[in-house]
Amino acid sequence: MRNFQLGFVAFFFIFTACCQDSSNSTLGLSNELVTPIDLSSYLSNRTDLSKKVDSVFNAMSPESRVAQLIMPAAGRLGHSEEHIKFLIDHNYIGGILLLNGTKEQFTDWVIEYNMRAKKMGQLPFLFSADAEPSLVNRKIIGSTLVKKANEVNSEEEVIELAALISNDLNAIGINYNFSPVVDLSANKTVGYRGFGTNPENIIPFSDAFIRQTQSQNIIATAKHFPGHGLVTGDTHKALQMIDGELKEVKYYPPLIENGVLSIMVGHLAVKNNAKYNTFDEPATTSKVIIKDLLRDSLGFKGLIVTDAMGMGGVTNVPDADVKAIAAGCDIILMPKDAEKAHQAILKKYTSDESFKRTVDESAKRVIRMKICLGLI
């Protein structure tokens, strides 16, 4: 009987030890499980994400890498369906701005264009829209009616309208919103499009819009850097000049600190500023503004996109697409000719090692964003 009891005790301890080993082993495995990659991962230092970016990038041709940097427009104010298909078939583009059309039409295009890209062995597209509260109901016919930005009175309202807009964008398949406008309201072109009627609302309202948008797996974009609200004219028509101090830059650091993933640079020149003079060129083609100020001084690590390159504020700049990339922009929005833009960037890419490194860095940022969106 005593031998039986001793045997039972021994069995009990062995069984317990085995259970503990099993439990510890399971715990060890669970600790090794990788947290899913999502949009909040973009600004992180995750090695698994960086490795995935490198893996995708290394498998791409120079033509495909350059294509990631080019985003033409489709829609009533953009290219025809046939021309967009031509650009896809020739691997010239990595994203598409859906500009002025219906919700149903845009939804069909997202499906069709992504399927076409997939058949060509290309990456899925970044699909963007100017879905600002003040513009979305005109830009996307059939979208949920929302207040204009300058009519909003509280952060709660901002969150509500950002959620409604994002719901529509997700239903369409748009993953990149060129909003919010962070400019002061004095300028007639942009004033009604942002929260700057009361300057104290710019940061909290913009931040609320950005947080809600990105929580719904859509890239938000603060614009128009370094500030369009205090110039007198319209960059759609001509280059506008900021004279002296960059008074609107102060609105960007808190948004960058809180994780905004994209910033749009406006066609704005700077004069009478010892540190950030652009010498009559727009900020979109200025290393001083993009690299020295936005990247290095403000520490922004997300996507930098140009304002539309067919606007009057930049059309007089020779080789503007190449210059914008060289200055540090990651995405050329609405180049006047996407095919020529691709060819010009590719030509310099294959002949200028410094420019090649710049392009590669931008392409990796775009790839990283596509991975974080769940597109890759």
pLDDT recorded at residue 187: 87
At 119, the pLDDT band (50, 70, 90 cuts) reads very high
Cα–Cα distance between 33 and 288 in angstroms, integer?
Answer: 43
pLDDT recorded at residue 264: 98
The answer to whether residue 282 scores a pLDDT higher than 70 is: yes
The answer to whether residue 214 scores a pLDDT higher than 60 is: yes
Instruction: Determine the 3-state secondary structure of 324 from DSSP.
Output: helix
Q: Where are the domains of the chain?
A: 1-33, 37-372
Average pLDDT score over the chain: 92
* High-pLDDT (> 90) share of the chain, %: 86
According to the 3-state scheme, what is the secondary structure of 178-211? Answer: CCCECCCCCCCCCHHHECCCCHHHHHHHHHHHHH
> For 144-186, how does the pLDDT look when each residue is reduced to its tens digit (9 = 90+)?
999 999 999 999 999 999 999 999 999 999 999 999 999 998 8
* High-pLDDT (> 70) share of the chain, %: 91
Cα–Cα distance between 144 and 327 in angstroms, integer?
Answer: 38
Superfamily assignment of 37-372 in CATH? Glycoside hydrolase, family 3, N-terminal domain (3.20.20.300)
The answer to whether residue 46 scores a pLDDT higher than 50 is: yes
Helix segments in the chain, DSSP class H = 2-32, 47-58, 62-67, 81-89, 103-119, 136-139, 155-172, 202-215, 252-257, 287, 320-327, 338-349, 353-372
Backbone angles phi, psi at 238, to 5 degrees: -160, 160
Neighbours of 202 (CB within 10 A): 25
| CA 41 and chain centroid, separation | 14
- Average pLDDT of the segment spanning 93-121: 97
pLDDT recorded at residue 17: 43
Prediction pTM value: 0.90
pLDDT recorded at residue 77: 87
Quick check: bond before 62 cis, omega within 30?
no
What letter would DSSP give residue 302? S
Cα–Cα distance between 259 and 275 in angstroms, integer?
Answer: 26
**What is the chain's length?**
376
Neighbours of 2 (CB within 10 A): 6
The answer to whether residue 27 scores a pLDDT higher than 90 is: no
- Are 96 and 84 within 8 A, CB to CB? yes
